[in-house]
């Protein structure tokens, strides 16, 4: 949805309105290095059931972007 739609959508890292390049800038910015980040990403798999692997995939991607 568009900005200002008052809908809070969560997407996987780089899959929503904020692309991978923007996340790379966030995780490599010197002023943000020591600041903890909170991820609000989907917890469900394609079948709608909780999938703990989603968090693992998103964290692995962020670590790859960080290097």
User: With 0-12 CB in 10 A as exposed, 13-18 as middle and 19+ as buried, what is 34?
Assistant: exposed
pLDDT over 90, % of the chain = 51
Are residues 54 and 12 in contact, defined by beta-carbon separation less than 8 angstroms? yes
Indicate whether 60 belongs to any domain: yes
Indicate whether 14 belongs to any domain: no
* Residue 1 Cα to chain centre, angstroms: 17
The structure's pTM equals 0.76
Tell me, what's the pLDDT at 1? 62
The sign one gets for the Cα dihedral 24, 53, 17, 35 is negative
Number of domains in the chain: 1
Segments in the chain forming alpha helices (H) = 20-28, 53-66
Indicate whether 36 belongs to any domain: yes
Indicate whether 40 belongs to any domain: yes
Tell me, what's the pLDDT at 33? 87
pLDDT in tens, 4-33: 887 777 888 988 888 999 999 999 999 998
Indicate whether 32 belongs to any domain: yes
Domain range for 40 is: 20-66
Indicate whether 62 belongs to any domain: yes
């Amino acid at each position: 949805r568009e900005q200002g739609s008052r809908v809070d959508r969560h997407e996987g890292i780089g899959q929503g309105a904020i692309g991978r390049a923007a996340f790379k800038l966030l995780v490599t910015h010197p002023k943000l290095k020591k600041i903890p980040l909170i991820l609000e990403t989907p917890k469900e798999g394609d079948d709608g059931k909780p999938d703990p692997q989603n968090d693992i995939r998103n964290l692995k991607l962020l670590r790859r972007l960080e290097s």
